[in-house]
Amino acid sequence: MLSLHPLLILTAISKGLFIIALIGLVSSSVYAALVTLAAFGFAHRRQRRLRQNISFSPALSLLKPLHGREPDLEQRLEGFFRQDYPSYEILFCAREGDDLGLQVARRVAQKYPHIPVQFLTTGEPAYTNAKVSSLELMADAAHADILVISDSDVRVTPEYLREVAAPFADNRIGLATCLYRGIADGKSFWSRLEATAMSIEMAAGVLVADRIEGMQFALGPTMAVRRECVQEIGGFGTLGRYCADDFVLGNRIAARGHSVVLSDHVIDHIVLNEGFWQSMKHQVRWMKSTRFSRPKGHFGTALTFSVPFGFLMCVACTALGSPVLGLSALIWSISTRMLLAAVVGKTVVKERSLLRTMLLYPIRDLMGFGFWAVSYASNRILWRGEIFELLRDGVMRRYLPEASAARIGEETLLPPRA
């Protein structure tokens, strides 16, 4: 009788794992269906706008925070000077006047003297989130009533400003933001995986959120916002304590009763992390930021992954004597991820390497669950060579102000030391 106890325990554990895996596979399949519906709705909205051919072109101020010289920065900045748009200015801001990124911007601006440009410096940032210091300074110097905030690592087409400005023809719109496709210009496997996460995982989550509850947040690579809405929430300076300033900006503007909309224009987001550790630390920071900005939603994100539950089902069914069922579940989990990548990649972000993205996404789905789990191991993140702690609601504070990236290495992937 006693000799049966280990077998009974193993069977009970396997049944428990089977139930967990089944819940995960069902929930992730439902999620994939929701993504598909949202993706086709997004594509339909895009086609409807193109048929309407709305011509709306108010004056715009384009705000470009810079920090150092990034690969191909000059080429990306030129795209913003080549806009098919009648009236706009560009404001660049960095911490110091000799910042290499600012030097590149000055050189590019000399080629386009017809575009009004301002170059600003903040000195030592007034806020924990240094980017907010730049936004505040540029907003004060800008002339237009619609501010377009764009990160340095994005690449745009000539119609970018025209399509981003289009939603503001409706006076109810307070902020518009854009989805983005990840672009790995290098040949690194890890950068391509990160690009897949941007194109598919991020886009899928945003599409479902927009369909279920409407946009209640913004995406940092592009945010177009009315000046009066920024003033209404107390100015950009009120975002200075937060890691996810984009999320907070959109959330507060929506809370004030203004509409936040997802533009149907999609931009290129360049992956700058080529190495393994660079990519891993960036994606863990991304997950931790989400965890503290919207903790309930982040917790539920676990049920949107599929491949981890497919593997779990395979193990549980094999232990219960049904390996074929387990293998079928694993194949199902991989297939649904590939189909999800195909739908989002083709209909929404117009992925240029669709087959590669479809093949990589199941791997990314498995890794994504790992990043989600690691996000609960520590509240520390690495950002521009400094360690910060994330607190409630995504508030950020310095942990070791003088630490360098070389000293801390992969520490942010690990739990705090006792």
Span 85-113, average pLDDT: 95
Span 326-341, average pLDDT: 97
User: Do 130 and 246 have their domain in common?
Assistant: yes
Domain boundary residue, one of 250, 273, 296? 273
417, pLDDT greater than 50 = no
Task: Find how far residue 333's CA is from the centre of its chain.
Answer: 24
pLDDT of residue 381: 85
User: Do 263 and 126 have their domain in common?
Assistant: yes
Instruction: Please check whether residue 256 lies inside any domain of the structure.
Output: yes
pLDDT of residue 404: 43
Domain boundary residue, one of 273, 298, 317? 273
Let me know the angle formed at the C-alpha of 374 by 369 and 376, rounded to the nearest 5 degrees.
Answer: 110
User: Do 105 and 231 have their domain in common?
Assistant: yes
User: Do 124 and 262 have their domain in common?
Assistant: yes
Give per-residue pLDDT as tens, 369-388.
Answer: 999 999 999 888 877 777 88
User: Do 106 and 228 have their domain in common?
Assistant: yes
83, pLDDT greater than 80 = yes
User: Do 384 and 239 have their domain in common?
Assistant: no
Helices of type H across 217-275: 227-232, 245-255
CA distance 100 to 20: 51
Instruction: Please check whether residue 374 lies inside any domain of the structure.
Output: no
pLDDT of residue 71: 87
Instruction: Please check whether residue 368 lies inside any domain of the structure.
Output: no
Domain boundary residue, one of 273, 304, 330? 273
pLDDT of residue 418: 30
User: Do 269 and 398 have their domain in common?
Assistant: no
408, pLDDT greater than 50 = no
- Kindly report which listed range (200-209, 222-231, 293-302) carries the lowest average pLDDT score: 293-302
pLDDT of residue 281: 86
Give per-residue pLDDT as tens, 296-331.
Answer: 889 999 999 999 999 999 999 999 999 999 999 999
User: Do 213 and 81 have their domain in common?
Assistant: yes
User: Do 60 and 182 have their domain in common?
Assistant: yes
pLDDT of residue 14: 85
Match 């911490």 to its residue by tokens. 95
CB 387 within 8 Å of CB 400: yes
Residue 153 structural domain? 54-273
Span 139-149, average pLDDT: 97
The tokens for 274 are 């080529």
Instruction: Please check whether residue 188 lies inside any domain of the structure.
Output: yes
Span 124-149, average pLDDT: 94
Instruction: Please check whether residue 343 lies inside any domain of the structure.
Output: no
pLDDT of residue 400: 56
pLDDT category, 4, cuts 50, 70, 90?
low
Count of structural domains within the chain: 2
Instruction: Please check whether residue 27 lies inside any domain of the structure.
Output: no
Instruction: Please check whether residue 311 lies inside any domain of the structure.
Output: no
pLDDT of residue 2: 44
195, pLDDT greater than 50 = yes
User: Do 387 and 251 have their domain in common?
Assistant: no
pLDDT of residue 345: 97
Residue 107 sits in a domain whose CATH number is 3.90.550.10
What is the torsional sign of CA 318, 319, 322, 326? negative
Which residues are bridge partners to 376 per DSSP? none
Instruction: Please check whether residue 299 lies inside any domain of the structure.
Output: no
Span 59-64, average pLDDT: 97
406, pLDDT greater than 50 = no
| CB hemisphere CA count around 80 (13 angstroms) | 31
User: Do 246 and 116 have their domain in common?
Assistant: yes
Average pLDDT, the chain: 90
User: Do 402 and 265 have their domain in common?
Assistant: no
pLDDT of residue 405: 42
